[in-house]
Amino acid sequence: MTATITRERVGHFVRRNNQHGYRTGQWAQILMTVPSRDRDCWLVAYQDGETDVIPIANHTNQYEFRTKPVDWRR
């Protein structure tokens, strides 16, 4: 099931809504799905070009998604 979720999200924008994580609350674009420590993750890029790997496991209420470009400052 995770693989289906990840393919559908590539190209979309994501931000973390929890208090634990790098750059929580900042929008990033999902570039691709990558394996990391035996789980699927998204490779994302932030407005300034910095990248991060975000785990995909149980994303309920942890992430917010958008399909169209967003105002990076929010």
Which pLDDT belongs to residue 68? 85
Residues 45/8/13/66 CA torsion (nearest 10 deg): 180
pLDDT averages per 10-residue partition of the chain, 74 residues: 67 85 88 89 93 79 83 65
Residue ranges of alpha helices (H) inside the chain are 2-9
Which pLDDT belongs to residue 69? 79
The answer to whether the beta carbons of residues 16 and 44 sit under 8 Å apart is: no
pTM above 0.85, yes or no: no
Which pLDDT belongs to residue 48? 93
Which pLDDT belongs to residue 1? 46
How deeply is 3 buried, as exposed, middle or buried, from its count of CB atoms within 10 A (0-12, 13-18, 19+)?
Answer: exposed
Q: Which residue ranges form the domains of the chain, and what is each CATH number? A: 2-66 (2.30.30)
